[in-house]
Amino acid sequence: MRHDKITKKVEQIEKVSDGDQKIVDSITEVIKKFNINSVFTRVDTIKRCGILISTIGMALTILPFIGHATVSSLFKSGLNKIDEGQKDAYYEMKNNPRINWRLLLLGLARRFIYLTGLDKEDTNSIKALILDDTTLEKTGKHLENAGYVFDHVTGLHLLGYKLLVCGYWDGVSFIPIDFSFHKEKRDNALNNSKKRVDKKKEKVAQLQNKLKVQKQKAEEIKEKVKQKKAKNKANPNKTNRNALEQKVRSLDKSMQRIKLIEKEKEDGKEKLQYLENTYQELKSEYGKCGLKKQDYATQYKKQRSRNTPGYKRNKETNGDKIDSAISMVRRALKNGFGFDYILTDSWFFCAKFLRAITYLGKKIYLVSMAPRGNAKYKILPSGKYLNPNQILNLYRTKAIENRRYKAKYIKLQTEYQGIRVVAFLIRIGKGENWRLLVSTHLNISFNKIMEVYKIRWTIEVFFKEAKQYLLLGKSQSRDFDAQIADTTLSFIRYLLLSYYERTHYGITIGGLFRQISQASVEENLVADLTEIFMELLILFAELAGIDFMTVYEELIRQPELQASLERLKIIPLTHAA
């Protein structure tokens, strides 16, 4: 990775660095502040070739800052003074299931909060825990636990992993504090295939019954034709002849209907056979995450001791993402992270997650998008059970206009699966797309819930930056322990750079602009520019007839657009601070 490709965070470091050594010195300054050496020292009892784990960990952490994406490229460059033959120690560290990478990350995240807390910044700012997932695409089916996962951005099933991330917003910066990898067994594909088979079977059975009835009718008509022929033969007159011809025509039509039904039935049976074959193929691949039997059989698999962190992380891949998210929330609280809100996208919204949040027993509120599906909410105080579309149809005329966000919204007190929530149906601009935003904070206002929810987009920025610049998802190691190690190292780099920015330049991770010198003038200017930018963005969405939030999220995901905004110092996320 060349220096001119490093993210804005690293570019700030380059401004005070003339070469690789000075970059390392700049990072080393932060590493000393975090006392990372002591964190890695906890696992120094696990060492190979006489090299301490802490030494290896420090070297791996700074790889992208000195222009190297892999251990191999580091050794080839000659920057590392350790003997070439000892580089196996680096790989062995990453492949070691006994290293508790989760504990290391949480420890450094706590250190970040402690160090930034020394600045005595505003303690009244919103603090939030943010949960979201992203796809880590891979190229090799041999990678341990790799499989096909559904990517919501592309709408495709991609080979790789689903990474669930828990991040913390301290009022100024976003930092990653926990994560888990997940496989997808493709239950939906299997269930949908079974439904299609059952539906087609029912259709074929209906056609069979219809054919039986039609054949019975044809036999009855044949009998009547026979009778009419006999009558016409006995008394050949115009009336009897017309009656006979009418019955013959009826018989012809009946026989034509029989042929059509038979053809439709045969086509249905052929389609049913195809659907049954598809179902059997999916069934044979069930639990193999979309891989073919041969690919799954040859995939790397590693035996781990049950009492190792690596065993637990490996087991997590088969676990439910909602259960994992709940565990992350509890770990965050246990490790001293204080927050007011938990922010999630629509796929997290379910009774299990809602119930877990309400059982925390603290003043912690969920703010989440919710699907506009068929799930019904109990409207209070009327007691009516309505789904989002029914709510919209019934209350559309009572929608309230909000000038700040150029939005319309419907606010209702409701119950979902017996849990009290406030529901906002929101339309921004003049489009037809209404979003459903819910919260367990029953007294929250529209402006407040919008201000809080926009913080969730900081995790989208994190995904973009970490993937683009800090090697997130770039590991091609077949060993799953190494995948965990490389992901943790990417998160640690993000922590370090976030702290470096914040202490040296006052620029936070989401691209928020805060200049220490001439702060009041520049912050006011940026606020004005951002307000104008947001108005233009909403106007564009209106003119294009598309959803504002969709445009906003796409804006965050596009590196080229984000870079342009940063150069102009116009960052929509400023509102989230």
Nearest-angstrom CA–CA distance, 91 and 81: 17
At 34 the pLDDT is 81
- Per-residue pLDDT tens over the stretch 431-490: 778 999 999 999 999 999 999 999 999 999 999 989 988 889 999 899 999 999 999 999
In this prediction, residues 354-371 reach a mean pLDDT of 92
- For residue 199, pLDDT over 80 is answered with yes
Is the distance from CB of 9 to CB of 498 less than 8 angstroms? yes
Confidence band of 155 (pLDDT split at 50, 70, 90): confident
| pLDDT value, residue 545 | 60
To the question of pTM greater than 0.85 for the whole model, the response is no
pLDDT of residue 570 exceeding 70 = no
Instruction: Answer whether 27's CB lies under 8 Å from 17's CB.
Output: no
Residue 392 confidence (pLDDT): 94
pLDDT higher for 511 or 62?
Answer: 62
Whether residue 168 has pLDDT greater than 80: yes
- Amino acid 21: pLDDT: 54
pLDDT in tens, 333-347: 999 999 999 999 999
Question: Lowest mean pLDDT: which of 107-121, 167-181, 359-373, 561-575?
Answer: 561-575
Q: Beta 341-344 vs 365-370: how paired, if at all?
A: parallel
Res. 10 pLDDT band, cuts 50 70 90: very low
Percent of the chain clearing pLDDT 70 (strictly above)? 72
Convert the pLDDT of each residue in 516-543 to its tens digit: 223 333 444 444 455 556 566 666 666 6
Position 576 pLDDT exceeds 60 = no
Separation in Å, CA 148 to CA 135, 159, 160, 311, 421: 10, 4, 6, 22, 35
Which pLDDT value is given to residue 240?
84
Give the side-chain half-sphere CA count within 13 A for 244.
16
pLDDT of residue 119: 59
pLDDT number for residue 137: 95
pLDDT tens digits, 23-33:
556 667 777 78
Q: Which of 45-54, 367-376, 426-435 has the lowest mean pLDDT?
A: 45-54
Residue 568 has pLDDT above 90, yes or no: no
Q: Which of 80-84, 127-131, 266-270, 502-506 has the lowest mean pLDDT?
A: 80-84
Sign of the C-alpha dihedral, residues 66, 67, 70, 75?
A: negative
Q: What angle do CA 359, 360, 361 make, to 5 degrees?
A: 90
pLDDT tens sequence across 401-412: 999 988 999 999
Q: Looking at 286-408, list the stretches that DSSP marks H as alpha helix, in order from N- to C-terminal side.
A: 293-298, 309-316, 321-334, 351-358, 388-395
Q: What is the mean pLDDT of residues 413-420?
A: 96
- Judge whether residue 511 has pLDDT over 50: no
Pick 509 or 264 by higher pLDDT.
264
User: How much is the pLDDT for 301?
Assistant: 95
DSSP 8-state symbol, 399 = P
Question: What value, to the nearest 5°, has the Cα angle with vertex 526 and ends 525 and 528?
Answer: 65
| Mean pLDDT over each residue of the chain, to the nearest integer | 81
